[in-house]
Amino acid sequence: MAQSTASGTSSRRYIREHDVNVSSSSRYGDSEWETKEALRQRELEEARARAAQMEKTMRWWSDCTANWREKWSKVRNERNMAREEAKMLRAKLEIAVKDANSYKHECQELELQNEQLKKEMEKIHMILLKHAGQFDQQIFTVLESDPQLRNTLGSHNILPDRDIEEYVLQGAVPKHAVELYKESPLNSLDKDIVRLADSNSVEDNTENNLQTCTDELYAQKMILLQHKLDEATKTISIEREEKNSLHRGLEKLKTEIIQVRKQYEELEESKADVTRELLELKDRFQLELSDVQAGIVDEASSREGMNRRLCELRTELEKLQAENAAEWGKRERLETEKISLERENKQLRNELNDLQERIESRRSRPVSTSDSDTRQLHQEFLVRNVTLLKKSLEEKTTELSHAMRRSEQYEAEVKRVRARVEELKKELAAVQDELDTATNSIRKLQRANEDLLEQLESANVQLEHFRNRRGNRRKS
């Protein structure tokens, strides 16, 4: 009977211990899986938040770059338009200067031609006066009827003919007028003068003939002179009109030159404003870059401190995890001991009940003194065993309560440390995101600064070329 009860209790104890171990292992596995799943969910949320932050930063940077590109494209278009306008104005100025020079040359040529025509008119007038004086002298010699003056008259006639031929060669008098003059009745006049010298009887006829010839000659000369004078007046009027048009063109060119100078001054002012804005932007970018660099240095130092703190917390966490594992082991051992003590108590209670039943059954029968002694001893033994078991049970329960309290304290500390570690991880992720954004912003600012420096250098080079050209033009 006792063997059967002992074997039954041992088998039950083994089954219960196996169930307890299985349940504790299953609970431990479930809790570990839940913690891993929670960590994965947190990492996934952190990755999503980081991706959203990166998308926001990329959108912001794309908007900033688009705005800068639009602004600089407008500035470049305005600069190119100003350059094209300056080139067009320079071309117009050069054309106007060339036209003015050509107009000046034409005016000088026309003035020279006018002076030449005046001189030619004076020469023609002087030649006419000479011919009129010579004809009067011939008339006087004929009237004096001196045959010796014939040679002198011939020589006087030859001289004006030579003068007229030279003047015709110069292009002042047309040849047909000279031919008319030569074919005019001067030769007949000479013949008549000779005849009058030979015969004094026909003086009246010769006087009449000479008068008519001289009248015809003067009329022809006056017609030629009037025609020449009309042509000269026409040319002078045309030259005056051209001169007035040239003066008007010069005034227009002067006004255009003044406008070009004003536009050039406005372009220089706009260029100075643009260079000033570029310098201001450069200074602003340098200040922002210095601020960002200082912030990066501070973030790097704070990151190093956070890394050190994180390493310390990791070591503390590892220690706490080791202590927690040891406490969990102690707790499991205490739980197993408690379960075993409860089983032993149950067994003792069962045995006590059996003994009490036996005692009661024996009481019904007559008992001897030896049985009473043995029963008394047995009761004392049972009482002592019960007291000892109660004391051991109380000690084990107190130890178990202390262990439970410690385990609860350790669990609270572990939770607090885990929460702190999660907060530190979040802070570290945020700091890393900020550091990445700061590095990206620094790179983009450096690129923008380099672009601005290149544009500033190109603008300075263009300004120097423009100044050199202006100086060369002023010297020329």
- Render each residue's pLDDT in the chain as its tens digit; 476 residues: 434 444 444 444 544 454 444 444 445 556 777 787 788 788 888 877 877 887 787 778 778 777 877 878 888 888 888 778 878 888 877 887 787 787 778 778 878 887 887 787 777 767 766 655 554 454 445 445 545 444 444 444 434 444 444 444 444 444 444 444 444 444 444 444 445 445 444 455 555 666 676 677 767 777 877 787 788 788 878 878 887 888 887 788 788 878 877 877 887 787 787 778 778 877 877 787 777 777 777 777 777 877 787 778 778 778 877 877 787 777 788 888 888 888 887 887 887 787 777 777 766 555 455 567 677 777 777 888 888 888 888 887 888 888 788 778 877 877 887 787 788 778 778 877 887 887 787 788 878 778 888 877 887 787 777 778 777 777 76
List, in sequence order, every beta strand (DSSP E) within 233-299. none
Instruction: List the one residue out of 450, 430, 70, 64 whose CA is nearest residue 289.
Output: 450
Query: How far is C-alpha 153 from the chain's CA centre?
Result: 99
Decide: helix, strand or coil at residue 148: coil
Q: What is the pLDDT of residue 29?
A: 54
Decide: helix, strand or coil at residue 306: helix
Query: How far is C-alpha 278 from the chain's CA centre?
Result: 10
What six digits make up the tokens of 170? Answer: 């110069």
Packing angle between helix 2-144 and helix 149-170, nearest 10 degrees?
170
What six digits make up the tokens of 45? Answer: 């949320």
DSSP-assigned letters across all residues of 345-397 = HHHHHHHHHHHHHHHHHHHHS---HHHHHHHHHHHHHHHHHHHHHHHHHHHHH
State which amino acid sits at residue 96: A
285 and 452 Cβ atoms separated by less than 8 Å = yes
C-alpha 449/C-alpha 227 separation (Å) is 82
Instruction: List the one residue out of 305, 301, 292, 290 whose CA is nearest residue 439.
Output: 292
C-alpha 260/C-alpha 82 separation (Å) is 12
State which amino acid sits at residue 151: N
State which amino acid sits at residue 219: A
What six digits make up the tokens of 303? Answer: 């990151």
For residue 474, what are the CA distances in angstroms to 21, 85, 97?
A: 105, 20, 14
Provide long-range contacts, Cβ within 8 A and 24+ apart, for 162-167: 163/127, 163/130, 164/127, 167/123, 167/124, 167/127
For residue 47, what are the CA distances in angstroms to 40, 43, 396?
A: 10, 6, 49
C-alpha 445/C-alpha 225 separation (Å) is 89
C-alpha 185/C-alpha 216 separation (Å) is 9
C-alpha 119/C-alpha 439 separation (Å) is 91
**Half-sphere exposure (CA, 13 Å, Cβ side) for 330?**
17
169 and 205 Cβ atoms separated by less than 8 Å = no
C-alpha 58/C-alpha 50 separation (Å) is 12
Decide: helix, strand or coil at residue 463: helix
